[in-house]
Structure 1
Amino acid sequence: MTQNMGSLDRILRTVAALAVGVLYATGTLGGTTALVLGVGAVAFLLTSFVGTCPVYLPMGLSTRHEQRS
């Protein structure tokens, strides 16, 4: 798959996922909210690691800065 996520996008997703993890660890999140946000956080971490967002693909979006040759 072609990467379509820029550095800032990947960093923001990672920070958001870590914030959800911290909120869960401190007991601020619980129940259904924790489950839904936890699934989203895992998805954010996976897409950040891979550098491709499947939601961007059908729309043709990309936050990645294309390097000029």
Structure 2
Amino acid sequence: MITNMGKFDRGGRLAIAAVLLFLALGTGVLGSGLLFWLALVVAGVFTLTSFVGNCPLYSIIGLKTCRDC
């Protein structure tokens, strides 16, 4: 897989994933319904894409946030 995400983008995704996980699991703000599961799925996708360094949506639209790729 070709990297298409820069360090700032990857770090931002990890931060957003951490906040979503905290809201879903650490507080009762999202309840236990659709918002809870949506937050978990988005946090999982953001974590996975930040570790891999490739965002499939970026590939589709031709966006790259890294300087050296």
Please report the TM-score for the alignment, with normalisation by the length of structure 2: 0.89
Taking every aligned residue pair, what percent have the same amino acid on both sides?
43
| Counterpart for residue 10 of structure 2 | 10
After TM superposition, the structure 1 = structure 2 runs for residues 44-63 of structure 1, keeping only pairs within 5 Å, are 44-63=46-65
Return the offset for 1:23.
0.9
Shift of 1:64: 0.6
8 Å contact kept, 2:21–2:39: no
Q: CA RMSD in A?
A: 1.2
The CA deviation at 1:27 is 1.6
State the alpha-carbon separation in 1 of the partners of residues 54 and 48 from structure 2. 9
Aligned to 2:28: 27
Runs of 4 or more consecutive aligned structure 1 residues displaced over 2 Å after TM superposition = none
Count matched residues: 67
Structure 2 residue ranges without an equivalent (≥5): none
CA distance in 1, matches of 2:35, 2:22: 14
SS in 2 for 1:27: coil
For residues 15-67 of structure 1, the C-alpha deviation after alignment (integer angstroms, 9 at most, x for no partner) is 00000111121222221101112101100000000000000112111001127
**Could you list the runs of 5+ residues in structure 1 that have no partner in the other structure?**
none
Tell me by how many angstroms 1:2 deviates: 0.4
* 1:61 maps to amino acid: L
